Structures are given as C-alpha cells and as structure tokens.
Structure 1
Amino acid sequence: MKPNTGNLAALQECERQFQALTSRFISFLDSSSSISRWVIAHSGGLDSQLLLYLACKVLPRSQIVVLHINHNLQVEADGWSAFSERQAELNGVVHHSVSVTPNNSSEVAARDARYAAFNDFINEGDCVLFGHHADDQAETLLFRWLRGAGLTGLKGMPEQRELGQGYLLRPLLYCSRKQLEQAATEIGLEFIQDPSNDSIDYDRNFLRHKVLPELKLRWPQLLARWQKNADLVAKSESLLNHYLDQDLRQCLTTSRQLNLDEWGLLIEIKRPELIRRWVYNEIGFLLNEQQLEQIQHDVIQAQSDAIPIYLIQGHSLRRFRNHLYIVSPPSELLDNVEISEGGCWELGDGELTIELAKPLQKSLTLQRRKGGERCVPHGHAHSKSVKKLLQEADLPPWEKASWPLIFQGETVVAVPGICVCDGWDKESSGFSLLWRPLSLSD
C-alpha cells in the first residue's frame, strides 16, 4: 500500500509550525526577566491550553500559576472550572479559580469583570500570560475601526504592557489561529469548545465567522499586514506622546495643576490632545472626543467667577485661578491625632512632618477645620479667622473645608502650610513644621 503523501505532508507542516511556535515562545519569554510568578490566564480553550502546555515546557513549574475566571454566564461554567483545575493538576502546577459576576451578559461586561479579577489577583513581580493570537488581533482592529477609534484604539492589543502591580504578555500574538490548531493537533491537545463562540449575535463572532474569512481569501497576508499596520500606528502614537509630553511640561505648575494661560498659547489642534494626555498620565483614563469637548466648554470656558467640576471615574477636574486641577477622590482623613513628639503623619490628603529640637512641654492635637476657628499668627498683634488666612493664601475652595489645624488645648497654634500662631513657644521648644497637600504638590 502506498503511503498517504498528503497526510504525511500535512503532518510535517504541522510539526514545522509547532517547532516555529515553540521557538518564538521561548524567545519571547527569554526577554522577560525578574518574574516571580507566571500566571496563565486559562479558560480551557485552544489558545490557553496551548499556552499552558508551552509554559510548562520552558518555565519552572514552581513559578507557574493557572488562573481561571468563572464568569457564571453559561450552564457549563462550573464544568470548565473543573477542567481547568484538572489541567493544572496534570501539569503539576498551582491552580486558582475566581468567580465573577459581570453586570450583564455582554462581551464588554465579561471583559471588565475578568480584568478586574486579574488586577486583584496579581502581585508585584507577577506576569500574566494571555493566549491572544493574530486572528484575535485582526478582529480587535476591525471591531475598533467599525466603532470609531483613534490612534490608541487602532494600535490594537499590545504584545506587553503593565497590568495592575505586574505585567501582561501575549507571547502568541504573532501566530495565527491556524498555527495554534496545527500545534494542538501535533501534540494531541484536549481543549474546550465554548458554544457561545459560534453565535454571530455577538459582534466579534460575526466578524470572526462572516467577515474575516472572506477578507483572508481575498488577501491571504491580511493577518501579518494588519499587525504591521498596528505596529506602525503604535510608533506614531508613541512619537505623538513624546511631543505632547514636551509641551505638557511647559504647562504644568505641579503634576496635577495645568496652567491654562500657558495651555492657551498652544495651537488649537494641540490643546484637547494635551488635556487627554495629561489626564491619562495622571489617572490612566483616556478621554474621548465628546468628553474633551464638554471639558473645554463646561470647565475651561466657564465664567471666571464659576467653580466648575467635571467627574472622571471618581476623580474630578476643577478650575481655579485659571489653573485646571485633577482632584483625586477623598480618602479617609486622619483627624483628632495626639502629637507628643516629632514625626511624620500621612493624613489622607497630605503629609505632615514635625521636627522638634526639644521635647514638647504640652502635647498637641491635630484636628480638622470645622469653621469659626481663630488664631494670632506669629508676629501679629491681633487675631484673625482661619477662614481669612486660608482665603489670603489663595487656596482652591475644595481644599479649605477640611484643612488640618494644630491645637494646644483649645488654642490653634499652627495652620500647617500657612502660619505658626502665638501659643506655641517656638523659642523654647524649637521646631519645624512642613505640610505637603497631595493635590497642591508633586
């Protein structure tokens, strides 16, 4: 009987593809050092199963952790968790399963819940490996183009980036799904088939099953060319950000205070992009065109005596004295703190440092401003209200309400960052007091 040369050629091609895939995987991971744990994002599907197989071939198994996210969206979800746990056991690596509850059954809600779980799980020095491949990248690029995206969206999924306290790597991103299927065939890999992946009710599935196959028939090199385009867009965005950061440095008073007089000197096309870049640098949120227009109209162009505010994921954008401020959500403020010796206190909205040359004769108390307080600033003959002192310091109004005060008994003896008052005998005790508000200093 003659050998089936067609099957032999297919097997040889499959083996060649697997060897190429393995070599690329090893080469990619060799460039990553100082990793304490390799966390495999494991659904049990083709790409994550192959990812686990390759990781166990080239990485110390003592450093590998399999992480499965149970979205609880399908009846098979618990069975997939059990399959993932069994695969980790067969490979002799640690397994963790995290159950999440997405806001709804949409792809976006599932992704948000999944990435929130990754953020919570990983520690400093961890690296999460994802099995995204070239077909996933093509779907992402086409989907974002159809929805409307700028440079950031059209650069696609990056091969690596920061994620929470650790990192995210996609070592299979330049490999096609066909290559992964051939590799899985070569090693006889078992994997889960998620039935929801076949439903074209989901936009990405429609692109995957109806659109991209036709495009690849017409342009066989589509995956490589689109990835090349994504790389070029990423370089263009990096260059743009380099120039924006140069202009941004000229406009910042502190990292969270932008001088609108300097900003207004820029050419018009740069101004919204600079706001977008500044906000992203500080809080990691990328403003869209509509949000930028609203900020410029409602905040920057508001009446001069107005105190406008624009909320961004818990943070707020405020304007005062022709400066734009990014104000973080309030944390728990330290209050009613007894001070018997020098030291440094993190108060929630800033850092207070007191250095003493001699021990205090009487203990002090840090209290938050409540209104109506008065003191006699050192060198002044008469008392002044704390409210007046804060107004004269030209502080943003949102900073004044809970400004820290230092009391000795019932007497205000210091308004940190503003003045020292009579009642604190600095000549006999000798001290220095430094207040660094988080929103007003770098």
Structure 2
Amino acid sequence: MIRQLLPVSALLLGSALLLFAGGMNSLILPIRGTAEGFSAASLGLLGTGWALGYVAGCILTPPLVGKVGHIRAFSVMSAFAAVAMLLSLLILSPYAWIPLRALSGFCFAGAAMIVESWLSERADPSSRGRIFGLYTMVNLIASTAGQLVLTLGDATGILFFILPAIFYCLALVPTAMSTTAMPKPLVNVRLDLRALWRNSPVAVFGVFCVGISNSAFGTLAAVYADRVGLAVTSVALFASLPVLAGAVSQIPIGWLSDRMDRRVVLVGVVAAALAVDLVFIFLRPEALGLNLILSASFGAAIFAMYPIIVAHANDHAAEGMAIQVSGGLLMVYGLGSIAGPTLAGVGMGMLGGAGLFLTSAGAHLLLIAFAILRIAQRAPVEDADKGVFVPAPAARASTPETAALAVGEDDAPAEEER
C-alpha cells in the first residue's frame, strides 16, 4: 500500500494544502462580512460568485491545461487564489468580494481538476479505490481543519486572510517539485441537458434542487449561526460538523440504496432534511447544543443526497458513460448553486435566519414531490442492473475529474473523451 501511495504523495499534499486554505477562505468571508455589516443578500452573492467561477473553471480548465501544461496551469490557479484572498483583505467591500470569490471558485475548480487528473493517471485498477478513498479523506480532514483554525484567533483581524494566501502558495510547491509524469488531457465537460433528462429526470431535477439547498447552507450557515448569537468557535463547529456528518452518513445510506429503489431512499433522506428545516424555521433554537445537533443532522441528510442521485443516474446510463453523466450532473448542480445563495440571502434579508431554511425547505419539498411522481411512473432498476454506490465528497468540492478518479478502468472514458 505504501509503495502505491508514494508516487502520489506530493499530489495528495498539494490537494490537502489547497483544501486547508479553501476551508479558511470559505468561512472567514461570511464571518468577517457579518462583522463589517454586509447584508445577507450580499453575503449570499458570495456563494453565487463562487458557483459561477467554479462552473467556469470546470469548463475552461481543460483547454487551458492543453495549451500551457499541468504544472503551469496549477501554479497560475494557486497564485490567483492567493491574490484573491489578499485583495479581499485590502478591499473590504461586497462589491469587490463577489468577483474575487468568483475568481477563487474558478481557481479552486481548475486546481482540483489538475490534481485529480494526475491521481487518476497514476491509479491502477488494483489501487484506484484506495487512492480515491484516501484522497476524499485527506480533503475532508484538510477542509474541516481549515475551518476550525478560525477558532484559534481573531476573525476581525488580518490573520485569517494572510494564512489562506500563504497556504494557497504552498499548495503549488509539491506539484511543481513532483517528478510524476504528466497525465493525459483533462476530461472535457459536455452539458447535454436533453440526454441527461432522457437518462433520468429525477437525477436532473433532483441535483438542481440539491444545488439550491446545499449551496445556500454552505454559504450562509455561518451567517445564520452568528445571528442566533453563537461565538466564533461555535460558528466554526456549526459550519463544519454537517460536512463530517454527511461523510459518515453516506456509508449506511449508500448500503441501503444498493438494496432498494434509490429514489425511495432519496425521498426518505430529503424528508429527514425537510424535518430539520421545519425545526429551524418554527423553533428557531438558540441553545448551542441543540443548534449543533440540528446542523449535524442536517448535514447527514443533505450531503448524502448528491451521491445517491449520481448513483441513480449511472444505473440508467449506457455502459462507459458514467463520467459523462456525472460531469453533466455536476454542471446542473452548479446551476442550482448559482441560484441557491442568492435566494437564501434575499430571504434572510426579509425574514431573518428563517429565510435560509425556507429556501432549502422549498427545494426539498419540490424534490420530494417530483421523486414520488417519477416513482409512480417508472419502475425501479433491477438489483442485478444496479451499479455500486460510491461515497463522494460534497459536490462543491467535486469536479468532472473526481468521477474519472472514482470509476474503475472498465468505466473510464475513451481516449477521445479526455
């Protein structure tokens, strides 16, 4: 195992540094923006900016890498991510932060795709599953650690703007010094909505709704926690515990979805998230313990939805089309992520903290209704024809290359698809 990991250790280290910086970046902006008096609507637009940049990065990075190469492209992404972080400190204005957050999203998507392409190239069939699992675990730990670091200092100072910039720069060192051979060209994303819809309407509609809900919570959870009076340490826990709970919950939920209609499992998971939505809306808890329990429960549900949907879509996909389907769904998720933070930000501006969970509750209700309709119209996939549920990182941390790394060699795209 160690012999298999040594060739990719530099890539894993670079990814960990990138995610560590990204964890700090994602949390310091809403916390500092709230302290500066930015409106909830403008803070929601930070998430919209990120999603726009992230989708653009997934689409534009492959041709960029084709022109200048993997190492140069990765270095540019890391450098501009650091620049965006430092400019956010110099210009404390939402009018500057929104486009800078879009730049961060673009750079983050591009850098992640490059690292994942390298890992996919180095992973042989016997080690692919272990490398993907280790990569996912490293990224989860690094991102969570980046968020929790904010509990160790003053969020209103300059420290947590400078530190992410430093780690963005450090992230380019392992790849720049790596002797690993350059991988093949990156996966090109082709968003064919008609083909995706014909393959699985539930997957397309569902992933759009999940994009609305998850991106709204991911962007504005810290703002909500601050408004109910939680300290910075507790705000960081409120934002990070859901991701950890979502990673853990995928194991039993995935096992269940492999043994029954995935749409039924999806409806159950979404219903659980809706129940938490309603508790937040009507009870408006203020106690720290209850808020943390509810946020972890919410994360356990919402971060398990995306991999269920991808698995369901791949059950219906033609052989060898797993990457194209997963990449297309990721782009649809990105479209939902563009809308979600804006809707939630406006809702919070009008209704207070309840506006965040009213947005996700609306998305969850629509998803449940549509999934039940499709269950009545289309028979489930036979167990013998099902693929295997693959636990996945949160969709906003996934790229089309994540699917290429996760699938086995038999499902890898043909050469012309890369």
TM-score tier by shorter-chain length is under 0.3
How high is the TM-score relative to the length of structure 1?
0.24
How high is the TM-score relative to the length of structure 2?
0.25
Which structure would you say has the larger Rg?
Answer: 1
Higher helix share: 2
Higher strand share: 1
Higher relative contact order (CA 8 A, sep 6+): 2
